Structure 1
Amino acid sequence: MDSDDEDDDGPMVSIGANRVPYNSITSEMVATMTPLEKEEYIRIGQQLYENMYD
């Protein structure tokens, strides 16, 4: 499963062994992300932002 997969909660982000809906991410969760997870989280956010204006 890739983080681009979407279900009823929208895009999912990996945090450790967990998959969390992008819209449920808190600043505390971001603080525990690895650099790679943070990079993916930012990429998804940018994609969502760009899609708002398509």
Structure 2
Amino acid sequence: MSLFHAAFVQMERWQQAGVFDRLLRILLTELNAAGELDWSRACADGSHIRARAEQSSG
């Protein structure tokens, strides 16, 4: 197994286990508590979120 493949496999495992989502939440929580985030410049992009079936217009 190449080093690239081993790294890819480990990153995939972490992604499936939710490691990156938890890490991002922790980072944002700590930065927000320290007053280091400017939420006036934040933007929510829901283009990748699927609508629930009962809310779908199609």
TM-score by length of 1: 0.35
CA radius of gyration, larger in:
2
Q: Report 1 or 2 for greater relative contact order, CA contacts < 8 Å, sequence distance ≥ 6.
A: 1
TM-score by length of 2: 0.33
